[in-house]
Amino acid sequence: MTDDHADTDLREQEKLRRKALWPLSMLQPGDPKAKPVVDVLDGIDRRAASDKAGGVDELNIVVVTELKAHGLQIVREASIPQPWRERFLQASMGSTRHADGPYLHDFQKFIVM
């Protein structure tokens, strides 16, 4: 599998994950309507189980940040390992960001969710 193909697969997988999370967020715990959505998410997680990206705790260690003017910190996007980078890009689509990268506070909110 080429890197371009893997990137496309990951992008599509994360789009599917986001589409499933939205309706799930509107349901109460235990709602039987959640079952098909949870099944989709479980399938995505099973396919991603072989990822070597590590857990959320490791992200704070490997991600490179940079201090900009006025005390704002940004994240060097290339330092975010896959699949986390694609997940963050999908989650923050449409968000305001610095020209050099996403704001650190947005990335920190993402990893605690």
Contact 36, 19 (CB under 8 A): no
The verdict on 113 and 62 lying in the same domain is yes
Whole-number Å distance between alpha carbons of 29 and 19: 18
Tell whether 60 and 43 lie within a shared domain: no
pLDDT for the residue 60: 81
pLDDT at position 1 is 47
Task: List the domain range (segments joined by +) for residue 75.
Answer: 53-113
Total domain count, the chain:
2
| Predicted pLDDT of residue 58 | 81
Q: pLDDT digit string (tens) for 66-88? A: 999 889 999 999 999 888 898 89
CA distance 108 to 103: 9
Q: Is the pTM of this model over 0.85?
A: no
Calculate the dihedral angle through the C-alpha atoms of 38, 86, 100, 4, rounding to the nearest 10 degrees.
Answer: -160
Counting DSSP H helices and E strands in the chain, the numbers are 5, 2
The residue ranges of the chain whose pLDDT is under 70 are: 1-7, 48-54
